[in-house]
Amino acid sequence: LEREEGVFHLKVVEGKHEFFQGIEEETLGYNGDILGPTLRVRKGDEVEIHVKNTLEDETTVHWHGLRVISAMDGGPHQVIPPGATWKVRFPIEQGAATLWYHPHLLHRTGPQVYRGLAGLLIIEDERSEALKLPRDYGVDDIPLIIQDRRFNSKGRLEYLTRPEDIIDGMLGDTGVVNGVLAPTFSPRLGVTRFRILNGANARTFYLRFSDNRTFYQIATDGGFLEKPVGRRELILSPGERAEIIVNFTSSDKDLQLRDGDYTLLTFMPGREPGEVEKLPKELVKGAESIDTSKLKRRYFVMQGTGRSVNINGKQMDMRRIDEYVKLGETEVWVVTNSSHHMGMGMMMGGQMGMMGNIPHPFHIHNTQFRILSRNGLPPSRWERGDKDTVLVSPGESIELLVEFRHVGLYMYHCHILEHEDMGMMGQFNVS
C-alpha cells in the first residue's frame, strides 16, 4: 500500500468475493473484498495509519508481532465503532520481519478473520537490505497468506456449524492462499523467497513440496534466523510466520506446495532467470546465551476443552489484570499444555482432534521472545529466531525468554481464534 502524505489509509469494508466462479460470498476486507494490502515499513520509520470502519459492526486492528504502546496495539480495548476512524502513530523499533494485522474483538475475532480480515506488515532494516536475498515484492519476494475454509454443497462459507468446531476451532476442508482457491504461481528460475503466514483460524499446516524437495528457512515470526536452515517440512500453527527460500529449475513439472493431501499452490516456473543465485551463509548474529537461573518465572497452563478452555483456570475478563510485569525486565514464561489423551479419544474434525488433546499456539503481545526449551530440550535450529507465537502440543512445556519495552495493558492467548473467543486469553500490565 502506498502512503498518502505519509499516512497509510485502511478502510474496513464489506465485499463480495467469488471463491467459486459465479458464487458471490459476503466477505470482509481492508480496502478490498478480501484480506488487506501489505504495509511495508522500515525500522526507524514513524508510521501513521488511519483505519476507517465502514462496517455496521465494531472491529479492532491489532498489529501482531509489533512492539508498540498498548493504546496503539489494537487489542480488545481499542474498539473502533461503526463509522469511526482510528488513527495510530508509532515508531518502528524492531528489525526486519514479516508481521501481520487482524481484528481482535472480544469473543468475535474468529468470525471477522474468517470472513476475510487479515493483512501483512513487513519491516525492512539495514541488514535485510544489505543481505543478498530476493526482495522484489511480488516478483521474487512473495507473500503467502495460507488459510483454510469450509464450504457447503452450494459453495457457501460455513462457520461453526458442527459440534467439533467449538472443540478444535474452525477447521476448513479447503486451502485458500491469498484469498484464492488453488492458485497457480509462476516463479522465476533460481531462488524465490516466500513470506508465509498461517492466517487460519485453527488449523496447523504441515507444508511440503510435492517432490519433497529441500527448501531453506531464513526467518521466524520476528526476524531472521542466524543461518538458513534446510528443511523438507514447515510446520506453522495459527498466527506463526516463516520466510523460506525455494530454488526453481526449468525441469520443475507439476510442482505443488501441499498440506497433507491438500494442494495449496501449483507452480509453473517461468523462463526468466532470477537475480539472486546463492544464499548468504550467515543472516544475523545469533543471540548470546544468558544465565536464566535468577530470572523471574511465570507459569501459564492451557487446559480445558470446548467452552471451558482456559489459562491457569481463568477465562478472559476485561476488568481483571492477570499479571503485572516490570518494564524492561527479562523473565522466563513457562507455558504448558496440560490437555491429555482421555483414553477413548474420538477423532474430531480430522486434526489431532482427540477430546482434550488439542495443540494450542500461545501468543504474547508487545514482544518477540526466544524459545529456551521444549520439554527440557533445546529448541530446533529453525525455532531459534525471534518468535511471538509458539505451538504447544498436548503434554508439552515450553520455556520462553520474554522482555517488554512498552508500558500498558496487553494480551496473551491461544491463537486458535475460537479458543481465544471462548476465553482462552489473559491480560498483563507492563509498568
Binding site for Cu ion (CB under 5 A): 64, 360, 365, 414, 416, 419
Verify binding: residue 365, ligand C2O, rule CB under 6 A. Answer: yes
Spatial neighbors of 360 by CB under 8 A, at least 6 apart, are: 302, 337, 339, 391, 392, 414, 416, 419, 424
414, interface contact from ligand C2O, Cu ion, none, CB < 5-8 Å by kind: Cu ion
Identity of the residue, 284 or 422, whose beta carbon is nearer to ligand C2O in the bound complex: 422
Site size for ligand C2O (CB under 6 A):
10
Verify binding: residue 302, ligand C2O, rule CB under 6 A. Answer: no
Identity of the residue, 35 or 335, whose beta carbon is nearer to Cu ion in the bound complex: 335
Verify binding: residue 62, ligand C2O, rule CB under 6 A. Answer: yes
The residue type of 126 is: E
411, interface contact from ligand C2O, Cu ion, none, CB < 5-8 Å by kind: ligand C2O
Question: DSSP string spanning 260-278?
Answer: TTEEEEEE---SSB-S--S
Spatial neighbors of 190 by CB under 8 A, at least 6 apart, are: 247, 248, 273, 274, 275, 276, 277
Show the site string, 345-364: x = touches ligand C2O by CB under 6 A, - = not: ------------------x-
Verify binding: residue 17, ligand C2O, rule CB under 6 A. Answer: no
Identity of the residue, 167 or 425, whose beta carbon is nearer to ligand C2O in the bound complex: 425
Query: What whole-number distance in Å separates Cα of residue 242 and Cα of residue 97?
Result: 9
150, interface contact from ligand C2O, Cu ion, none, CB < 5-8 Å by kind: none
Q: What angle do CA 416, 100, 214 make, to 5 degrees?
A: 80
188, interface contact from Cu ion, ligand C2O, none, CB < 5-8 Å by kind: none
Spatial neighbors of 191 by CB under 8 A, at least 6 apart, are: 134, 140, 245, 246, 247, 248, 274, 276, 277, 279
239, interface contact from ligand C2O, Cu ion, none, CB < 5-8 Å by kind: ligand C2O
| Whole-Å CA distances, 321 to 77, 278, 326 | 13, 49, 14
Return the SS3 of 130. Answer: helix
| Residue list 69-128, contact with ligand C2O (CB under 6 A) | 102, 104
Name the residues that contact ligand C2O, by CB under 6 A.
62, 64, 102, 104, 239, 363, 365, 411, 413, 415
